[in-house]
Amino acid sequence: MNLTIEQPCPQCGGPVELGEADHVLICPYCGTKNFLSTSMPALLLPPAREYEEMIYVPYLRFRGSVFSCIGNTIQHQVTDTSLLGTPLNILPPSLGIRPQAMKIRFATDKLQGTFLKCLHGAEAAVERAGSLQNITAGQTLYHRAYIGETLSLIYQPLYHKDERLGDAITGKLLARLKGGLSGLDRVTEPAPPLDFNFLATLCPQCGWDLNCTSDSIVLTCPNCHTAWQAAGKCFSRVDYACMDCDNKQALYLPFWKMAVDCRGIRLENFADFARLANLPQKDQPDWGHRKLLLWSPAFKVRPKIFLRLASQCSTLLEESDGEKMIPANSHPVNLPLSEAVESLKIILASVAANKKKTAANAARYPHFRDFGLSFLSAF
């Protein structure tokens, strides 16, 4: 289940609800669109009422697809889990369904109260998500990748009153603190800074309104036919191509295409890739001169379909310049390039005839040296 985040419109102040995967705030009152640029958002479960002395306890939340190369197979599952960031045995180790059941909001430095430090890094939440996959005794894990992941820092509010510590959402008493909050001094920190920026969805090149949906991470200009993605406090240009299709009703799906350097296995051209995948057709004379490209969906899809699309496109598609005009009937890009790079080794293992050897020999990850965005007609 997705989270629902309440955020005032930066233009008119009207209340807007964002989904967990949303990047574009679309105001239903003034109609403006603003891109929300953030690394890992700090969120707050709203208390039932404000208490004089508030304490905010951090949890790390992970939601995404986990892929694992185990033996000669690839296992995958969608995982949604949270991890208590500060050792406090009076609280549960996980938030459970609270984030999905409540409307939450961004935590800012304007909040009054005591914030406990998150003693775990994002890697701890990711590792916890991976540990939820079942690996039977005797199986060897060669590689694990996390695709389409969403990481959030969520604060659980507590109240402190008359040496009582309680849940500020339900009002339930959790513990009695005879010494007050003095024992928590070593794990407190200032309120989290405002870790997001709003970018006007205007084309940096011509000033036209950019096309986007609420979950878009690449925005396109219908006037000068350019594509843009957020880079901190501004937009950077994305190179793209659109493959020709005679069917005017076709839906176009976006894919990241990546030229890669790979250590540990020989992959210099498509001929090497064909031998790795043990393709049934005979080697073609031009395969030795054909650039190796790995294709990854640039849109979120179920893990099994993600692997199938990435494997088939990497095996069948060649580089094509295509048209520099994104059709109106194209699926939004909502899976970033960083996620596609994370999937490189999984894609190689999925097409390889010997998955165990490929996953074990490819040093850490293949590294992409060039990339682009292609829109392919689906149906």
Taking only the tens place, the pLDDT of each residue in 308-357 is 999 999 888 877 666 667 777 889 999 998 888 888 888 888 888 777 77
DSSP state of 278: T
When pLDDT is averaged across residues 55-71 and rounded to a whole number, the result is 88
Q: At residue 364, does pLDDT exceed 60? A: no
% residues pLDDT > 90 (the chain): 23
d(CA 190, CA 113): 9
What is the Cα Rg of the chain in Å? 24
d(CA 14, CA 286): 59
Q: What is the pLDDT of residue 373?
A: 81
Q: At residue 180, does pLDDT exceed 80? A: no
Q: What is the pLDDT of residue 204?
A: 95
Q: What is the pLDDT of residue 224?
A: 92
Domain-by-domain residue ranges, the chain?
Answer: 47-89+109-193, 239-377
d(CA 244, CA 161): 67
- Which one has a higher pLDDT value, 301 or 281? 301
Cβ within 8 Å of residue 116, ≥6 positions away = 55, 56, 57, 58, 85, 86, 88, 184, 187, 188, 189
The region of weakest confidence among 129-133, 143-147, 320-324 is 320-324
Question: Which among 150, 158, 56 is positioned nearest to 107, based on CA atoms?
Answer: 56
Most confident of the following: 70-74, 109-113, 114-118, 373-377: 114-118
Q: What is the pLDDT of residue 281?
A: 74
pLDDT in tens, 65-87: 888 888 778 888 888 888 898 88
Q: At residue 250, does pLDDT exceed 60? A: yes
Q: At residue 219, does pLDDT exceed 90? A: yes
Question: Which among 311, 321, 256 is positioned nearest to 278, based on CA atoms?
Answer: 311
Per the CB < 8 A criterion, the answer to whether 311 and 273 are in contact is: no
Q: What is the pLDDT of residue 194?
A: 66
Q: What is the pLDDT of residue 366?
A: 64
Q: At residue 181, does pLDDT exceed 70? A: no
Per the CB < 8 A criterion, the answer to whether 211 and 327 are in contact is: no
pTM check: above 0.75:
yes
Q: At residue 267, does pLDDT exceed 60? A: yes
* pLDDT band at 379; cut points 50, 70, 90: very low
Q: What is the pLDDT of residue 298?
A: 93
